[in-house]
Amino acid sequence: MTKLSVNVNKIAVLRNSRGGSDPDPAEAARAALAAGCNGITVHPRPDQRHIRVDDVARIVAVLGGAEYNIEGNPFAPPRGSYPGLLELARIAHPAQVTLVPDGDAQVTSDHGFDLERDGARLQPLIRAFKELGCRVSLFMDAGSSDIERVAELGADRIEIYTGPYAHAFARGDAARELDACVRAAERANACALRNYLAILAAP
């Protein structure tokens, strides 16, 4: 069954650019849930340039049983008031954490994990998140050769990075990239992983 989780990060970007407290991502989450979505996604970063640590806790209060998905880089250490992704999961008890290999220099997430490089570091972190009761998803490129390794590391699902599809769609030539996403989903399903797409607006 297809379920919609609404990411409220851009609401926080607008608030932060204006100063003050409006628009409020917690109120945006409330509105999205009232309109019928199934969950809320946030992606707090160590520099807190959009969703802030206090937003994470405030959104918990409006969920009313809906799913909470917190995305972030599990390797990013605590910084200032940012306690690290694992500690945020301890605070907020999300249904899912989506692990993403992003850094401060990235405007948005723009590539998936390389499990040949990062798998050994990810495995104990995946275990730690699951011990908190979180389902774990890994952000992966559609053409990755590592999708089958996701299950071996103990994660439950993948999020397919669809940036190449969005760019191809803007060029009017999306068939090849869409097929790559379909093949990635089929490979994930074949090794008992669930999968979902991060749908990005075409540039």
- Tens-digit pLDDT string for the chain (203 aa): 678 899 999 999 999 998 889 999 999 999 999 999 999 999 999 999 899 999 999 999 999 999 999 999 999 999 999 999 999 999 999 999 999 998 665 556 667 899 999 999 999 999 999 999 999 999 999 989 889 899 999 999 999 988 888 889 999 989 999 999 999 988 988 887 765 544 433 33
Q: How many domains does the chain have?
A: 1
SS3 111: coil
Which among 47, 58, 44 is positioned nearest to 80, based on CA atoms?
A: 47
The pLDDT value given to residue 201: 37
- Is 203 within a domain? no
Closest CA to 40 of 53, 50, 27: 27
Question: What phi and psi values does residue 106 have, to the nearest 5 degrees?
Answer: -85, 130
89-116 burial: b if 16+ Cβ within 10 Å, else e: beebebebbbbbbbeeeeeebeebbebe
Domain assignment of residue 105, yes or no: yes
- pLDDT for res 166: 87
Q: Is residue 140 part of a domain?
A: yes
Q: Are the C-beta atoms of residues 23 and 14 closer than 8 Å to each other?
A: yes
The pLDDT score that the predictor gives to residue 197 is 47
Asked whether residue 120 is domain-assigned, the answer is: yes
CATH number of the domain that 21 lies in? 3.20.20.70
Cis peptide before 23 (omega within 30 of 0): yes
Residue 83: inside a domain = yes
pTM above 0.85, yes or no: yes
Is residue 111 within 8 Å of residue 131, measured between CB atoms? no
Q: Is residue 174 part of a domain?
A: yes
Longest distance between any two alpha carbons in the chain, whole Å: 48
pLDDT at 190: 87
The answer to whether the CB of 151 falls within 8 A of the CB of 137 is no
72 closest CA partner among 49, 44, 113, 95: 44
Q: Which domain holds residue 47?
A: 5-198
Contact 178, 199 (CB under 8 A): no
